[in-house]
Amino acid sequence: MRNMIIATRNEGKVREIKGIFADLPYNILSMRDIGLDIHIEEDAPDFAGNSFKKAAEISKATGEIVLADDSGLTVEALGGRPGVYSARFAGENASDPENNELLLKLMQDVPLEKRRAAFKCVVTLYYPDGRYVQAEGTCPGRIGFEPKGEGGFGYDPLFILDAFGKTMAELAPEQKNAVSHRGLALKKLREMLMALENE
């Protein structure tokens, strides 16, 4: 069974991937599992570029198959911002509440019908021989006028899902995973991998 390194220290994300890839022939490990402490600057202009860079550099450092993702929020009224800067929208070490506060401030005069937004995620699976596959997931919705819900993280309390009419933070974890941008991207990647395994 081949190793697959997940380019994250987020154990929740690793558990999610293990669940989705449970029937695939990979031994899934986090960076913490292999004792790898490496910082990769996410300086690409889009999610696909950052995802690819993380996967490629960690694969070259370890000689293993590596899965990396990059994701964020795009808001139509803000010309697609915060985009790749989602985690540091209000500054380099900004907290989730600080990012949410800035987003609400910028959107304060935007009417409901113009508050369209989407969470986007691109996952890259990179092989040591240089081959790679990518998959994207998009979750449409709109930006609320105030935070709602206690669950989730990031912009979840402000992001109202079209499918539920509730914020991401108001959903149970299993509901969120069924429709989330990362969950959708990982399921697409899983289908691609199953096709490759059956060739």
Per-residue pLDDT tens over the stretch 64-106 = 999 999 999 999 999 999 999 998 999 988 999 999 999 999 9
Distances (CA, A) of 27 to 19, 64, 166: 12, 11, 36
CATH class for the region spanning 2-197: alpha beta
User: What is the mean pLDDT of the segment spanning 35-46?
Assistant: 88
CA distance linking residue 19 with residue 189, whole number of Å:
13
CA angle at residue 121 from 176 to 180, to 5 degrees? Answer: 10
The residue-averaged pLDDT of 22-38 equals: 89
Q: Tell me: pLDDT of 198 over 80.
A: no
Report the pLDDT averaged over residues 164-169. Answer: 92
Extended beta strands in 76-131, E state = 116-126
- Other Cβ atoms less than 10 A from the Cβ of 111: the count is 8
Secondary structure (3-state) at 30: strand
Q: Which one-letter DSSP state was computed for residue 78?
A: G
**What pLDDT score does 161 carry?**
94
Tell me the mean pLDDT in the region 177-198.
Answer: 87
Q: Is 2 helix (H, G, I), strand (E, B) or coil?
A: strand
Please identify every residue annotated as catalytic: 70
Which pLDDT value is given to residue 199?
63
How far apart, in whole angstroms, are the C-alpha atoms of residue 1 and residue 193? Answer: 14
Euclidean distance between CA atoms 101 and 189, whole angstroms: 34
Residue 1 is predicted with a pLDDT of 84
Q: Cis omega before residue 82 (within 30°)?
A: yes
Cα–Cα distance measured from residue 167 to residue 90, given in angstroms and rounded to the nearest whole number? 21
Position 28 scores a pLDDT of 93
pLDDT given at position 162: 87
Query: For residue range 134-165, what is the model confidence (pLDDT) as tens digits?
Result: 999 999 999 999 999 988 788 999 999 988 99
CB neighbours of 101 closer than 8 A, spacing ≥ 6? 90
